[in-house]
Chain A
Amino acid sequence: AQSVAQPEDQVNVAEGNPLTVKCTYSVSGNPYLFWYVQYPNRGLQFLLKYITGDNLVKGSYGFEAEFNKSQTSFHLKKPSALVSDSALYFCAVRDRSNDMRFGAGTRLTVKP
């Protein structure tokens, strides 16, 4: 079955600095990869997805993610972090099946 790993429980960055939230995946076929964000006491909101094509995917709120097939990674990035980006971020993967598997989540804290 497909799976994802988010190796960092917590990422801290200063406002204005670039941020990266890491994700690696494991699937038997072609990967379909997603990033979601969760603000306190809320459900998950979709940020972006990789299906095929360009390895750099752009999404909501200035976020982007880079798909790297050789490293089986799909890291989330933003050139300049905002305090309001502080939240819990989840990477998710699908292969050919309809179910979606999530990572354990990474808590991003952006300090002023």
Chain B
Amino acid sequence: DVKVTQSSRYLVKRTGEKVFLECVQDMDHENMFWYRQDPGLGLRLIYFSYDVKMKEKGDIPEGYSVSREKKERFSLILESASTNQTSMYLCASSTWGGVNTEAFFGQGTRLTVV
């Protein structure tokens, strides 16, 4: 089975801190994604990556950056955390087969910024 692992289930950080959310997948997938999930808004794409060191902005990239130094790892970085970034963050991966392949999700990281 595909496994996508997010490093933390719950995080509490202070306003202004730099925050790292880590995601690792074990199926050699080319594509990796970061979403945030908020009630009533569903999942919104922050960034995605289709190869090592490659990244594309999603719908809400402001206040975030990403890093993909190795194929299996995709990190989301909050440069200076703010309270409006309190949310559930979901990482996902899929093969390069692209449009007809489903994404596999991690269990999520619930981030609270105080």
> B4 contacts A43, CB within 8 Å?
yes
> B102 contacts A46, CB within 8 Å?
yes
Question: Count of B residues near A, CB < 8 Å?
Answer: 28
Map CB proximity to A onto B78-102 as digits: 1 under 8 Å, 0 otherwise.
0000000000001010100011101
- A102 located at the interface, meaning its Cβ lies under 8 Å from any Cβ of chain B in the complex: yes
Give the size range of A's interface with the partner.
Answer: 20 to 34
Residue of A nearest to B48 (CB): A99
Q: Which of A6, A44, A101, A104 has the most CB of B within 10 A?
A: A44
Beyond the given pairs A49-B102, A94-B99, 20 more chain A to chain B contacts, judged by CB atoms under 8 angstroms and listed by A's residue number, are A32-B100, A41-B107, A41-B108, A43-B108, A44-B105, A45-B105, A46-B102, A51-B99, A92-B43, A94-B98, A95-B99, A98-B31, A99-B45, A99-B56, A99-B58, A100-B33, A101-B59, A102-B43, A104-B40, A104-B41
- On B, residues with C-beta under 8 Å from A are 4, 31, 33, 35, 40-45, 48, 50, 56, 58-59, 90, 92, 94, 98-100, 102-108
